[in-house]
């Protein structure tokens, strides 16, 4: 995959998703243009209701945009048929959900085999599923039903299921949100390993700023648009125009400003002994953040874009 | 067709039906009742039809039946088929043979002094050969014996047994007296057969009609209540023969065409047809009742599948997320409803067959002629019913399965 290192596995142009609500429309996504490279490890960040899941569902080909273009691995997917979309989900994307979504009546192995059931390549299904289970360290639990496994083990089975068809991208919606501290860390380490060793593009959704603070790339969304709330507010007050028309330089400047302010606030807090825990910090997420920090270094802080615990930061693309 | 493995679909359907045992069971009851009543109705119905056909086939297909009077008009004279009528009909070139059908009830006395009331039928040699009568001992009376009005008698079991207890071979060669005339028993017929439905309560015997007219008191020697004429089908169709005979009788009775006749004439074919119309109408009616119970069962399947789809929305969303196409989901749920229905169909088939045999065993206990009814197990009917049960599940599973297949993956995954 190294030869494609600088190509985009995901490229979107002005993606919009509107839901009609009586006479008005809910703008769940508005003018989202992003690029994600092969092998990136990125997080979609934002508070609840900001449009993260909507964005990931469209990027995961589970949903279609109302407007805009989406190129996945070089294919324009926003207009293709349902059947082709199903095939793309099957071949190119592995999903990991917050609530695991394992089928309760079948074994771990059978759950992992599920994508192969709908795959064109069904050869050696069992062996391939065993191999995937082995990668997540659960080969010895193949015959167990989901309810006989712990939450962390269930999520590992779900990751094996996401891996079994050797997809390009792993999409994880709050993968550590339902886990305890130890499992959260293990799951995140697993995702990091897949990214580093297998070169998988990992795209996760989180509302947890702790994770956002350490992940190599953050895609902030707020109110259906790119950028954190603060960033959008500042840009609008500067330019008196739509945020989306701001230049990359302007965005970077705003982010630096926010980061500086945040550092100031932090120092102030430290001096006054104030502990800010505005969001409910989840232990699974907290330990996941530790795992990311260990693996990637606290990159966001070191390159000067660290931010307060309740804000996300969009990175310049590439 | 999807390349999804059949075995997987099967085990999946099995697992899901099993996982909801209680509910599946309740749904199955409807199908079981529907299918088993169809099987029972068809098996017993076909049995009754076979029985009736068997009984009627004893009539022969070339018989024309002429009876006195006319139920649709009032007749002054009840004895309208005279010996003259019969002689002329018998003399027609296309009539092979004919026979009156006479009945008298007489007390018979055996050599040993035993007495028995007998229902005695008077026939010609061709007449006695009718009626699905099965000779078990001795012989029937011959044309010659009819011509000579010989005092010979045949009995239907268990008459001989009742008159001569312990006697073997139908007491052939023994003598009985009726109206002071001694008759020799020359043969015995198996109980049942034409007109022998109440053999346990009544005792049947037959003598040549000529002997009856000549030797028994009270017999009307000049008129017959009913007569049969047998048409040579190589010369005429039975219907044509019937028309010709009617013409002869109208001439003899001086009744112009178009006026109601004082006799009724019909063919054995027509009688068989009428009876089979009655039995098949009955069958269709019962099948309709069974069809309604199947319809109710089908709605039950549809209902349970709709509930299942709603319950498993998340599963459907997940399957779609990992690559299932609409068609895959459709097939999966169709398979499940077909499996449910087929399973019910197989149980229904078993209970239906048991009920059929139980019912005919019950009928045998009732006797009165029903004892000869046997459930007819037609492999075609069974195969069709089982196939139908599966097809039925597919038809009624279609709406829920379509609903499942069209679920948007995003919405399906969102449901908690
Ligand atoms: N099917 C829908 N119909 C109407 N509004 C929707 C629908 N799905 C999402 N939304 C709206 O879009 C916005 C973004 O939702 P979502 O992407 O789920 O946010 P997040 O995952 O960031 O919490 C919310 O305001 C939500 O109410
Ligand atoms: Mg969400």
Predicted local distance difference test score (pLDDT) of residue A306: 36
φ, ψ at A167 (rounded to 5°): -80, 165
User: Of all residues in chain A, what percent carry a pLDDT higher than 70?
Assistant: 86
Answer whether A161 sits within 8 Å of B5, measured CB to CB: no
Highest mean pLDDT among A224-233, B20-29, B149-158: B149-158
Q: Residues A10-31: what's their mean pLDDT?
A: 91
Nearest ligand to the C-alpha atom of residue A222: 1
Predicted local distance difference test score (pLDDT) of residue B415: 63
* pLDDT tens per residue across span B163-187: 898 888 888 989 999 988 999 999 9
Predicted local distance difference test score (pLDDT) of residue A110: 94
**Residue A84 touches chain B, beta carbons under 8 Å:** no
- Selected residue with higher pLDDT from A134 and B167: A134
B306 pLDDT more than 90:
yes
Domain ranges of chain B: 3-56+273-413, 63-267
* pLDDT tens per residue across span B218-274: 666 677 778 888 888 888 888 899 999 989 988 888 888 888 788 888 887 787 788
Whether B154 contacts B189, CB under 8 Å = yes
> Can you tell me whether residue A9 is helix, strand or coil?
strand
Whether omega before B45 lies within 30 degrees of 0, making that bond cis, reads no
Give the residues across from A124 on adjacent strands: none
- Selected residue with higher pLDDT from A16 and B63: A16
Q: Which residues of B touch A107 (CB under 8 A)?
A: none
- B169 Cα: distance to centroid of ligand 2 (angstroms): 96
* pLDDT tens per residue across span A63-98: 999 999 999 998 999 889 999 999 999 999 999 998
**Side-chain-facing half-sphere of B39: CA atoms under 13 Å:** 33
- Say if residue A136 is exposed, middle or buried (CB neighbours under 10 Å; 0-12, 13-18, 19+): buried
- Predicted TM-score (pTM) above 0.95: no
Q: Residues B139-164: what's their mean pLDDT?
A: 88
Whether B167 contacts B102, CB under 8 Å = no
Predicted local distance difference test score (pLDDT) of residue A305: 37
Asked if residue A49 has its Cβ within 6 Å of ligand 1, the reply is yes
Helix (H) or strand (E) holding B319: helix B313-321
Helix (H) or strand (E) holding B287: helix B268-311
Which among B3, B19, B321 has the least Cβ separation from residue A95? B321
Nearest atom, ligand 1, residue A48 CA? 23
Q: Where does chain A show beta strands of DSSP type E?
A: 8-21, 24-32, 35-37, 41-45, 67-72, 75-76, 93-96, 169-173, 201-206, 217-222, 225-226
Q: Which residues of B touch A92 (CB under 8 A)?
A: none
Q: Which residues of B touch A57 (CB under 8 A)?
A: 410
Predicted confidence band of residue A148 (pLDDT cuts 50, 70, 90): very high
Predicted local distance difference test score (pLDDT) of residue A1: 43
Rounded Cα distance, B132 and B373, in Å: 15
- Selected residue with higher pLDDT from A273 and A120: A120
Helix (H) or strand (E) holding B135: strand B135-138
Does the ipTM surpass 0.90? no
Rounded Cα distance, A123 and A119, in Å: 10
Residue of chain B with shortest Cα separation from A88: B323
- The angle subtended at Cα B89 by Cα B84 and Cα B95, nearest 5°, is 155
Mutate to test the pocket of ligand 1, among A15, A16, A19 (most ligand atoms within 8 A of CB): A19
- A284 Cα: distance to centroid of ligand 1 (angstroms): 24
Predicted local distance difference test score (pLDDT) of residue A318: 34
Q: What is the DSSP letter of A241?
A: S
Whether B196 contacts B204, CB under 8 Å = yes
Predicted confidence band of residue B372 (pLDDT cuts 50, 70, 90): low
Question: Mean pLDDT lowest for which of A260-264, A305-309, B16-20, B304-308?
Answer: A305-309
- Of B277, B389, B367, which is closest to residue B37 (Cα–Cα)? B389
B198 pLDDT more than 80:
no
Predicted local distance difference test score (pLDDT) of residue A239: 64
Residues from B in contact with A at Cβ < 8 Å = 3-5, 8, 15-16, 19, 314-315, 318-328, 408-410, 413
Rounded Cα distance, A205 and A172, in Å: 6
Predicted confidence band of residue B131 (pLDDT cuts 50, 70, 90): low
Nearest atom, ligand 1, residue A54 CA? 17
- The angle subtended at Cα B314 by Cα B308 and Cα B320, nearest 5°, is 105
- A113 Cα: distance to centroid of ligand 1 (angstroms): 31
Q: Nearest CA to CA, how far is B393 from chain A (Å)? A: 23
**Residue A64 touches chain B, beta carbons under 8 Å:** no
Going by CA atoms, what residue is nearest to atom 12 of ligand 1? A28
Concatenating the DSSP letter of every residue in A182-228 gives HHHHHHHHHHHHHHHHS--EEEEEE--HHHHHHSSEEEEEETTEES-
B115 pLDDT more than 80:
yes
- B305 Cα: distance to centroid of ligand 1 (angstroms): 30
* pLDDT tens per residue across span B33-83: 888 888 888 888 878 777 777 666 666 677 888 887 765 555 555 556 788
Which among A82, A89, A120 has the least Cβ separation from residue B322? A89
Asked if residue A26 has its Cβ within 6 Å of ligand 1, the reply is yes
Please name the residues in contact with B356: beta carbons below 8 A apart, sequence gap of 6 or more. B39, B40, B43, B44, B47, B375, B377
Among A118, A120, A129, A132, the strongest candidate for a mutation testing the B interface, having the largest count of B CBs within 10 A, is: A118
B374 pLDDT more than 80:
no
Q: What is the DSSP letter of B229?
A: E
Rounded Cα distance, B150 and B124, in Å: 12
Among A86, A89, A109, A163, the strongest candidate for a mutation testing the B interface, having the largest count of B CBs within 10 A, is: A86
User: Of all residues in chain B, what percent carry a pLDDT higher than 70?
Assistant: 87
Predicted confidence band of residue B192 (pLDDT cuts 50, 70, 90): low
Asked if residue A20 has its Cβ within 6 Å of ligand 1, the reply is no
A119 pLDDT more than 60:
yes
Predicted local distance difference test score (pLDDT) of residue B130: 62
Answer whether A95 sits within 8 Å of B314, measured CB to CB: no
* pLDDT tens per residue across span A218-256: 999 999 988 888 888 777 777 665 666 677 777 778 888
Asked if residue A206 has its Cβ within 6 Å of ligand 1, the reply is no
Predicted local distance difference test score (pLDDT) of residue A309: 37
For chain A, give percent helix, strand, coil, nearest 5. 45, 20, 35
A144 pLDDT more than 90:
yes
Q: Which residues of A touch B318 (CB under 8 A)?
A: 101, 103, 114
Whether A42 contacts A216, CB under 8 Å = yes
Give the residues across from B178 on adjacent strands: B181
Among B323, B324, B332, B413, the strongest candidate for a mutation testing the A interface, having the largest count of A CBs within 10 A, is: B323
Nearest ligand to the C-alpha atom of residue A49: 1
């Amino acid at each position: 995959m190294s030869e494609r290192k600088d190509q985009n596995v995901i490229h979107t142009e002005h993606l919009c998703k509107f839901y009609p609500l009586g006479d008005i429309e809910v703008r769940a996504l508005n003018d989202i243009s992003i690029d994600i490279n092969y092998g990136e490890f990125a997080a979609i960040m934002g508070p609840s209701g900001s449009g993260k899941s909507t964005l990931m569902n469209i990027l995961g080909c589970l949903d279609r945009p109302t407007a805009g273009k989406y190129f996945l691995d070089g294919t324009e997917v926003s207009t293709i048929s349902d059947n082709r979309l199903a095939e793309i989900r099957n071949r190119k994307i592995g999903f990991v959900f917050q609530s695991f979504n394992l089928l309760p009546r079948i074994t771990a192995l059978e759950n992992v085999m599920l994508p192969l059931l709908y795959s064109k390549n069904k050869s050696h299904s069992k062996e391939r599923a065993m191999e995937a289970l082995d990668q997540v360290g659960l080969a010895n639990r193949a015959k167990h039903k989901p309810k006989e496994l712990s939450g962390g083990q269930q999520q590992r089975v779900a990751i094996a299921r996401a891996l079994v068809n050797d997809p390009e991208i792993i999409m994880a919606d709050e993968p550590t949100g339902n886990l305890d501290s130890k499992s959260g860390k293990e799951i995140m380490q697993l995702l990091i390993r897949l990214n580093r060793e297998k070169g998988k593009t990992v795209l996760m959704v989180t509302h947890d700023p702790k994770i956002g603070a350490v992940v190599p790339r953050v895609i902030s969304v707020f109110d259906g648009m790119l950028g954190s709330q603060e960033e959008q507010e500042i840009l609008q007050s500067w330019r008196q125009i739509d945020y989306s028309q701001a230049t990359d330089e302007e965005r970077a400047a705003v982010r630096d400003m926010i980061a500086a302010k945040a550092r100031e606030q932090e120092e102030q807090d430290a001096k006054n002994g104030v502990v800010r825990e505005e969001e409910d910090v989840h232990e699974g997420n907290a330990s996941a953040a530790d795992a990311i920090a260990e693996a990637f270094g606290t990159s966001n802080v070191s390159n000067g874009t660290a931010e307060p615990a309740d804000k996300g930061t969009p990175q310049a693309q590439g | 067709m999807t390349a999804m493995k059949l075995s997987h679909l099967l085990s999946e359907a099995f697992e899901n039906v099993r996982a909801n045992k209680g509910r599946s069971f309740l749904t199955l009851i409807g199908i079981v009742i529907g299918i088993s009543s169809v099987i029972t109705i068809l098996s017993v119905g076909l049995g009754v039809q076979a029985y009736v056909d068997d009984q009627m086939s004893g009539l022969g297909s070339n018989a024309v039946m002429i009876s006195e009077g006319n139920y649709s008009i009032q007749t002054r004279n009840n004895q309208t088929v005279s010996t003259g009528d019969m002689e002329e009909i018998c003399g027609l070139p296309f009539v092979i043979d004919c026979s009156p059908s006479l009945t008298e009830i007489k007390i018979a006395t055996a050599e040993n002094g035993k007495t028995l009331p007998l229902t005695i039928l008077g026939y010609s040699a061709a007449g006695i050969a009718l009626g699905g009568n099965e000779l078990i001992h001795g012989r029937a009376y011959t044309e010659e014996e009819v011509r000579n009005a010989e005092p010979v008698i045949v009995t239907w079991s268990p008459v001989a047994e009742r008159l001569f207890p312990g006697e073997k071979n139908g007491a052939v060669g023994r003598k009985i007296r009726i109206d002071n005339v001694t008759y020799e028993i020359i043969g015995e017929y198996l109980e049942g057969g034409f007109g022998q439905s109440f053999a346990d309560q009544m005792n049947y015997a037959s003598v040549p009609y000529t002997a009856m007219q000549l030797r028994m008191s009270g017999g009307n020697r000049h008129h017959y209540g009913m007569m049969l004429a047998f048409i040579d089908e190589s010369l005429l169709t039975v219907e044509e023969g019937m028309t010709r005979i009617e013409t002869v009788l109208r001439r003899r009775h001086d009744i112009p065409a178009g006026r109601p006749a004082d006799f009724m004439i019909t063919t054995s074919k027509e009688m068989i047809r009428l009876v089979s119309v009655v039995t098949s109408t009955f069958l269709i009616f019962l099948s309709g009742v069974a069809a309604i119970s199947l319809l109710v069962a089908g709605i039950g399947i549809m209902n349970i599948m709709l509930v299942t789809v709603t319950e498993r929305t998340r599963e459907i969303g997940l399957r779609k997320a990992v690559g299932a196409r609409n068609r895959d989901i459709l097939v999966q749920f169709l398979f499940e409803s077909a499996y449910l229905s087929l399973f019910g169909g197989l149980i229904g088939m078993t209970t239906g067959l048991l009920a059929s045999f139980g019912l005919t065993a019950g009928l045998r206990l009732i006797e009165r002629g029903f004892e000869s009814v046997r459930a007819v197990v037609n492999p075609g009917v069974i195969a069709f019913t089982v196939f139908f049960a599966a097809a039925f599940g597919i038809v009624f599973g279609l709406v829920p399965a379509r609903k499942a297949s069209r679920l948007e993956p995003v919405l399906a995954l969102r449901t908690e």
